[in-house]
Amino acid sequence: MQYAFATNPTLSEPLFDLIDTVFPGLRQVALHARALGAPWESVSTPFVTREGTRVLAHVGVIELSLIVLGEQVTVGSIHGVATQPDCRRHGHYRQLIEEALYYCDQRYATQILTTEHPEYFEPFGFRVVQEHGFTVHYHPTQHGNGMRLLDLSCAPDIALLHRLLETRVPVSQAVGVVNEKAVFCFNEGSRPLYYAEDLDVMLCLEQEGTHLTLFDVVGPQIPPLLAIVERIPQRVAEVSICFTPDRLSVQAEARPYLFEHDGPSYFMVRGPFAAEGHPFSLPRSART
């Protein structure tokens, strides 16, 4: 049931038919990442069951390099788990997840995933690992406009995106990502991305009123959080940071939390994970 997109070029479209049926809208997200030059097919190993040209079920594996408590590790990241609605309860998922995990066991000591349904994966050895959110408070002040929105329809900004991803340092030494494009472009390429030229960093952030949420910082160095806040034109009174802010030169309040963005997202692990029990969060840009 293991396939490869390189040798099965006709697999993408029926697979996206399945994915878009189970997760409406993800086809367009995947096509946008492809247009940015970082398709998920370039990094994913698909396990599928088929009936003719129709894909009935899929489990994908992406090799992901992480920094975990200062050490670089390579994990197998499970993603795109889906079964056609009329084909459920026929054993397709069990067969594919077992094959995918056997594949992973030959290559990686640890497998990870994020899901709204941890009960689907616990029978296969995955456990929920608690994540943490981090909060910093400021006296709200007005700052200058020191960043711009990237235009990912133009070649220069696409080239800038690739340069920053290729030269990025991990956003955290607790849990951060190393040299990864496709998952980032899938998760963030359809969302607003901002560039602070003088800091030479790309920022994944959202602001509502005076509350700022920071999802990722991408560049050859990580600036202090204050330098980021000073370049945001709207007033900021509180910052929620969705990764360990050990490189942001700031004292932040850590609290256990469940990552939520379009629904709850539990972080699950199979095998050893050194950051377990420490305050950390897997950045949104790396969640599969």
Domain ranges of the chain: 12-131+258-286, 134-169+192-255
Contact status, residue 196 vs residue 231, Cβ threshold 8 Å: yes
Backbone angles phi and psi of 274, in degrees to 5? -65, -25
pLDDT in tens, 74-128: 999 999 999 999 999 999 999 999 999 999 999 999 999 999 999 999 999 999 9
Nearest-angstrom CA–CA distance, 171 and 55: 37
- Given pLDDT bands bounded at 50, 70 and 90, which one contains residue 142? low
Beta bridge pairs of residue 65: 74
- Cβ atoms within 10 A of the Cβ of 248, count? 24
Is the pLDDT reported for residue 62 higher than 70? yes
pTM above 0.75, yes or no: yes
Contact status, residue 111 vs residue 101, Cβ threshold 8 Å: yes
Query: In the block, which residue shows the tokens 């901002």?
Result: 194
pLDDT at 74: 98
Contact status, residue 2 vs residue 49, Cβ threshold 8 Å: no
Nearest-angstrom CA–CA distance, 255 and 133: 5
Burial class (CB in 10 A: 0-12, 13-18, 19+), 201: buried
Q: Among positive and negative, which fits the CA dihedral 247, 251, 253, 255?
A: positive
Nearest-angstrom CA–CA distance, 176 and 178: 7
The one-letter code for the residue type at 283 is P
Once rounded to an integer, what is the mean pLDDT over residues 281-286? 96
Closest alpha carbon to 169 in 199, 193, 139: 199
Nearest-angstrom CA–CA distance, 177 and 179: 7
Q: Among positive and negative, which fits the CA dihedral 66, 48, 36, 116?
A: negative
pLDDT in tens, 177-192: 998 999 999 999 999 9
Q: What Rg do the C-alpha atoms of the chain give, in angstroms?
A: 19
- Given pLDDT bands bounded at 50, 70 and 90, which one contains residue 3? confident
| CATH among 3.40.630.30, 3.50.50.60, 3.40.47.10, 1.20.140.10 for 12-131+258-286 | 3.40.630.30
Nearest-angstrom CA–CA distance, 208 and 154: 28
Q: Among positive and negative, which fits the CA dihedral 158, 161, 162, 163?
A: positive
